[in-house]
Amino acid sequence: MTEFSDTTAQSQVVKTAATQEADIPSGTVLIGTVTAENRAYALVKSDRGEIVQVKPGDKIGRHTVAAIEQGQIILMQNGQTLRMLIPGG
């Protein structure tokens, strides 16, 4: 059975993140997120239609994945943050 980790610290990142207009490649979509045992990853559909797995520290366009929570990822670029949500989630 999978044990899920406490995401309280990550929740604080999400609460302080601002939604900004950004240059994330058009057509990039968050498909899903998984967090378990101090690991987190997300599935993202790229603007080329590829499904890629990302984790904190990875890049999406020019943005760095700062945090992953249930249904959303936090991206950073040049000190600014933005949130990417699962559509309809």
Assess if residue 2 is contained within a domain: no
Residue 54: per-residue pLDDT = 96
Assess if residue 23 is contained within a domain: yes
Residue-wise pLDDT tens digits, 44-65: 998 888 999 999 999 998 999 9
* pLDDT by 10s per residue, the chain, length 89: 444 444 445 555 444 444 444 455 567 899 999 988 889 999 999 888 899 999 999 999 899 999 999 999 999 999 999 999 998 86
Residue 3: per-residue pLDDT = 46
| Lookup: tokens for 56 | 């904190």
Assess if residue 20 is contained within a domain: yes
Assess if residue 62 is contained within a domain: yes
Assess if residue 3 is contained within a domain: no
Q: How many domains are contained in the chain?
A: 1
Assess if residue 54 is contained within a domain: yes
Assess if residue 69 is contained within a domain: yes
Among residues of the chain, what percentage have pLDDT more than 90?
51
- Which residues span the domain enclosing 17? 8-85
Domain CATH for 13: 2.30.30
